Amino acid sequence: MVSSVKAVLFDLVGTLIYVKDSVGTIYANSAMQYGLVSDPNALNNCFYKISERKPKPSGGNVEEKRWWREVVQETFEKSGINIGENFQALFEDIFREFATKSSWGVYLDVIPTLRNLASKKIKSALISNFDNRLPELLKDLKLSKYFDSLAYSGKVGVSKPDAKIFRFALNELNILPEEAICVGDSLEMDYYPSQALNINSLIINRDKHNLKGIKTISNLTQIIEFIDKQIV
């Protein structure tokens, strides 16, 4: 019997890749190149507080980069670090750093899963709130070749959980919602919005938290089992 699943829509950060060190550690290491000593933990805490409350633009290189510049600047300021005249150079270093593989790791189950899906003629798409550095990052991580569609904020002009970004991928793949599986690590950004569109939804639950009533997998290779058994 042929599977009705024609594509898998993947979230990126937390699903396929992860920050190798904390954001705060990367910021602190970059600042050290300019003779600035800072606390990685304080930077990390400030970064998440600031980035989560600050409305992020979707699309447009200038707007995206300006947003990141403000986040980086506020992160250092709130943690008590006065960068001064070196700030622009430091920011450019940090901005470039997160577009390279040096800052990111790929989970071990990613490549085997993507290869297996391709061997079964099942397409893979990426749905991410990443900015326009994404294609460069995927190329550096050697992941580009595995994706048939890239739907990301910098390209589509909206961010998850907006339905438009999911529909963009479906349209590029030329499939119906019920012919896709969405896999991500966030209920609010991945699971619920895709489910609302009648897309089969799974949460990658690597730490095996208790999520009652939610379809979960603890390893991406289990996607194949879902498809083979047709239980999604």
Q: What is the pLDDT of residue 1?
A: 42
Instruction: Flag whether pLDDT at 88 surpasses 80.
Output: yes
What CATH class is the domain 21-101?
mainly alpha
Two tokens, residue 124: 């893979």
Residues 231, 210: Cα–Cα separation, whole Å: 20
Q: What is the CA radius of gyration of the chain?
A: 19
Higher pLDDT, 226 or 100: 100
pLDDT tier, 3 (very low <50, low <70, confident <90, very high otherwise): low
Q: What is the pLDDT of residue 55?
A: 85
Instruction: Flag whether pLDDT at 194 surpasses 60.
Output: yes
Query: pTM for the full model?
Result: 0.92
**So where are the chain's domains?**
7-16+107-229, 21-101
Average pLDDT, integer, range 193-215: 93
Instruction: Flag whether pLDDT at 229 surpasses 80.
Output: no
Q: Which residues contact 164 (CB under 8 A, 6 or more apart)?
A: 156, 157, 158
Residues 49, 30: Cα–Cα separation, whole Å: 20
pLDDT tier, 61 (very low <50, low <70, confident <90, very high otherwise): confident
Two tokens, residue 134: 């994404």
Q: Express each pLDDT in 31-53 by its tens digit.
A: 999 999 999 999 999 999 999 99
| Ramachandran angles phi, psi of 51, nearest 5° | -65, -30
DSSP the chain: ---S--EEEE--BTTTEEESS-HHHHHHHHHHTTT----HHHHHHHHHHHHHHSPPP-S-HHHHHHHHHHHHHHHHHHTT---GGGHHHHHHHHHHHTTSGGGEEE-TTHHHHHHHHHHTT-EEEEEE---TTHHHHHHHTT-GGG-SEEEEHHHHS--TT-HHHHHHHHHHHT--GGGEEEEES-IIIIIHHHHHTT-EEEEE-TT----TT--EESSTTHHHHHHHHT--
Indicate if the alpha-carbon torsion angle 5, 11, 14, 18 is positive or negative. Answer: positive
Average pLDDT, integer, range 87-107: 97
Instruction: Flag whether pLDDT at 60 surpasses 80.
Output: no
Domain 7-16+107-229 indexed as CATH 3.40.50.1000: yes
Q: What is the pLDDT of residue 74?
A: 97
Place of tokens 């447009």: 60
Q: What is the pLDDT of residue 181?
A: 97
Q: What is the pLDDT of residue 230?
A: 56
Q: What is the pLDDT of residue 232?
A: 45
The candidate with the shortest Cα–Cα distance to 92, out of 72, 112, 111, is: 72
Average pLDDT, integer, range 142-170: 96
Q: Which residues contact 100 (CB under 8 A, 6 or more apart)?
A: 136, 137, 140
Q: What is the pLDDT of residue 4?
A: 87
Q: What is the pLDDT of residue 130?
A: 94
Q: What is the pLDDT of residue 121?
A: 95
